[in-house]
Structures are given as structure tokens and as C-alpha cells.
Chain A
Amino acid sequence: MTGGQVLAPILVAGAQIVIVGVGGLLLLGLMRKLRSRLEGRVGPPIHQPLLNVRKLFRKQRVRPEESSWVFSAAPVVLVATAVVVAAISPLATTRPPLGRSADFFAIVFVLLLGSAALALAALDTGTPFGGMGSSRAMTIGAIAEPALLVAILAMSIPAHTSNLPVLVRLGLTHPQMIASPGRILALGSFAIIILAESGRLPVDNPSTHLELTMIHEAMVLEYAGPDLALVATGEAMRFSLLLGLLVNLLAPWGIADRPGAVALVIGIAMLAVKVALAGVCIAIFEVFTAKLRLFRVPELLAGGFVLAVLGTVTALVVR
């Protein structure tokens, strides 16, 4: 085995991790900026989340007195799971390192590990807000996860595999597969679940600290300094990862299908453009949407679940 064969996968994985990490934070900044502009405010600069994370990393490490190792491990677990998924997912290229193990179901469970760790950490501090946030996040997760699994099933039936790189590559070679109703319904369901999982507007308001309504913010209330920086990075990575997977399943064009540096660079650029477009759409949607009452959230997620089930049925019917 030559040096290039060993080095290339590492470079690809590194590039994907960096673009997901930095790009995720920039995406949040872009969405914030756009929302501010649409609401008639100037808004912080697009790179503000990066500055925030840098500032937080320089601060002293402060942890609640009674907290255990669960509390300190959760941010690391969150970022580590996101890094693993970013390395092996078909984001900039359809041939990521260890692509054969990038099963869609496995990826979902690895990402779930991160949110479970965060929920446990919020319980660990023993503050009422932490427990409330965890219970809400897990309630939403308990409805969103089955919907996501059924959506993946719907996408896997026509492709006869749940391997993510293969699913994306099939979209490139068989474009009519993307337009099949089963796939469209499953992707619609996936989009709703992404909004719920990453705490975007109809489910959770990312820009508020109002204790009655917050879900995700309540869980990370006790974090400060470098820990908070890790949590913020991890959350941004998860959001951009899920969006990246969605856009690549919806419109795989531009992704690098051949080995080589030029194709990879084009793939990265196209990924950035597509994810930014998706982010812009979400930001515009958020300007015109109000947060749902917590008790109405199950209605939205049940809708996502039914879309996924319909996708599965139509995939079975059409087969």
C-alpha cells in the first residue's frame, strides 16, 4: 500500500470534519444574520458564532459542585459522535473513508448517543431547568426517532440497501429514484425531524432564554467556558450534518463521485452552497413561523411519522 492510499482517506475525512465544524458555526451565523435582516435589524456578523466559541475556549473551566463525570463527559461525547459521523458520511464525496460502515441506521444511533449524553448531563446537575429540558428533549426524541427510522426504511426499500454512500450515489445514477413519491415523502419527514432534533423554530426557539418554552437551552444552562464551546460546536455540527445529508439525498449533484483533489474541492464547494441554501430556506421559514405550543409539537411530529409511513407504503406499492 502506497503512502497516497493511506493519506487520501485521512485527508478526505479531515476535510469533511473541518467543513462540518467551521461550516456549521458559519451556517448558524448566516441564518441569524438573515433573520435579523428580514426582521429589520442589522444582526451580528456571520462569523460571530466562531468568535463566541473562540472566546469561550479561552475562559476558565467552571463546573457545578455536585456534578459527576457524566456532566464533564457529555460535551466530549457530543462532539466525538458528530466528528465520527462527519468523517464517514457522504458529504463532499460519495466515497468517504469507511464508507461501507456508514449505514444510515447506525449513523442515526451514533448521533442519538450524543443527544442522550446531553440529556443525562442536564439531569446530573440536579437543577429543575436541566431536568425539565431533558424530559422535554427526550419526549420529542421519542416521537422523532421512530419517524426517522421509518423514513430511512422508506428510502432503503427501492435501493435495497441502507448504506448512505450507496443511497447518495444511486441518486446520481438514477435521478428518477429521487422523484419517486416514496423518497419525496421520506425526505419531507426527514426535514421535519431535522427541525425537531436540532431545536429549530416550530419546535424550539433557538434564540430565547425564556424558561417556560426552552428545551435545548434548558439542558445546557449549567455549562460554561470550554464545555459550553464544545456543546455549541457539537450542536452546530449535528445541524449541518443532518442538513448536509438531507441536501445530498435530495439533490446529490456536484458531490465528488471520483477520487481526486479537484473533484473533492468542487464537492466541498457544492456542499457549502447547497447547505447554505437549505439554511436560508429554514431561516426565511422561521421568520414567518411562531413556536408551537409544547403540547402541539406531537401533532407536528406525528405528521412527520405518517409521512414516513406513507413513504414506506408507496415504496412497497411502487416496487
Chain B
Amino acid sequence: MNGSAYASLLELTSGLVLVCAVVTMWRRSLPAVVKALSLQGVALGAAALILGVHQHDVVLIAVACLVLAAKGLLIPTLLGRIVAGDPSSREATPVVNVPASLVISAALTFLAYGAAEPVVRLIPTTAGRLVPLGFATLLIGFFSMVVRRKAVSQIVGLLLVDNGIALVAFLATAGVPLLIELGASLDVLLAVGVLRVLASRIGSKFGAFDLDQLRELHD
């Protein structure tokens, strides 16, 4: 792979990760949000794969395949099942309305660009320059967890944060050890599994996944 193609592909996949994060803020229909998350997982895996191929790092390629399978396929499938079980799978009334939250996402992106400046200066590689995109994904994930009401949307927010951290890790350190990535991925997978069970319990108990209705204690 020559230098410029490597740079363009890496820019494209990292940019796609951020765009998918924004799409989850944009769309109200939960199936579309889960699809965007799945695409983000694939883009993240592709970014890791490109880094691995460029650095001839077999372990990183293995990690990339793991990420592709877990974040691109397994987790979205689990979430897709919750969504399919929910009759009204739309984010009808987020705390902040959609145009405002999109503009805030744009502001968060600029914030991430400013905040990542010292990190970018530390890593003078092609990958290092893209670190702000990972920071922005992370911030948008946090924001999504704050303003969304549905259980699934909040899980998606958590996963956005995780994907953002993973992207920063890949770009900044050029290769997380396999053991750590394995641990982190399993952790997230477990968390999503637990949340899925919790969400379907909430659904069967209250008939809705709207977390705002769970303010009071019941006997």
C-alpha cells in the first residue's frame, strides 16, 4: 500500500466513524440508529485493518478482525433484537430536540479539535492527525447518553463512547496489545448483553423502554 492511498483510506474510515456518530443523533428511528452503529463498527474495524496492513502488524490485523466481528456484527445484532421487540421504536421526544442536538454535536466536534491539539502535536504521523475525530465521537457519545430517553439509545451512546476510545487508541498508539483489546471488547460485549436483558425486562414489566418513566419507586 503506498503512502497517499494509505492516508486517504485512513482519513475516509476515520471520517466515517464520526459521521456515523452524528447520524445516530440525526435519525429518530431506532433501527436506523442501530444500522449506523453497525456501519461505525465496520469503519472502525477497517481503520484498524488499514493500520495493521500498513505497519505489517499481524496482531493488529487480528484485533481488527475481532473488532469487525464484535462491533460490526455481534453487538448491532443484539441491539437489533431489542429494537425488533419494541413496538414503538422511535426516539419521539429527546430531551434536546434534534436540530439543537445536531448543532451541539457540531460544537462538540470543534471542541474535540481544540482539545486534541496537544495530542496531535505529540504524534507527528498521518494517524496522529486524525485523533480529533475519535475525541469527537467520544464526546458525541456522552452527549447522546445525556439527552436520549430510550434504553436502546443510551446503550448506543455508551457504544459510541467505546468506539471513540478505540479509534483514539488505534490512531494514537498504533496497535493496542491483543490482550487488552480482547479484554475491552469482551467487557463491552458483556455490558451490552446485560443491558439487553435489563432492557427486555424493563420492556416486559412496563411495556415501554422509555427511561424517563422510571423516576418513581413502585412496590
Contact = CB atoms under 8 A, between A and B. Distances in A.
Contacts, number: 68
Contact of B132 (A184, A302, A306, A317): A317
A184 to B, nearest CB: 8
B26 to A, nearest CB: 5
Nearest to A298: B99
A7 interface: no
Given A180-B11, A181-B12, A302-B98, A314 B18 contact: yes
Majority SS at the chain B contact face: helix
Contact of A310 (B18, B98, B99): B18
Interface residues of A, number: 22
Contact of A179 (B8, B133, B136): B8
Given A317-B132, A318-B129, A302 B102 contact: yes
A309 B98 contact: no
Interface in A270-319: 298-299, 301-303, 305-307, 309-310, 313-314, 316-318
Interface string B6-17: 001001101110
A208 interface: no
B102 A305 contact: yes
Interface in A70-103: none
B129 A303 contact: no
A309 B129 CA distance: 18
Contact of B113 (A305, A307, A316): A316
Given A181-B15, A299-B99, A306-B102, A314 B22 contact: no
B213 interface: no
Contacts of A310: 15, 18-19, 22, 106, 109
Interface of A: 176, 179-182, 184-185, 298-299, 301-303, 305-307, 309-310, 313-314, 316-318
5 contacts: A303-B102, A306-B26, A306-B102, A306-B106, A317-B113
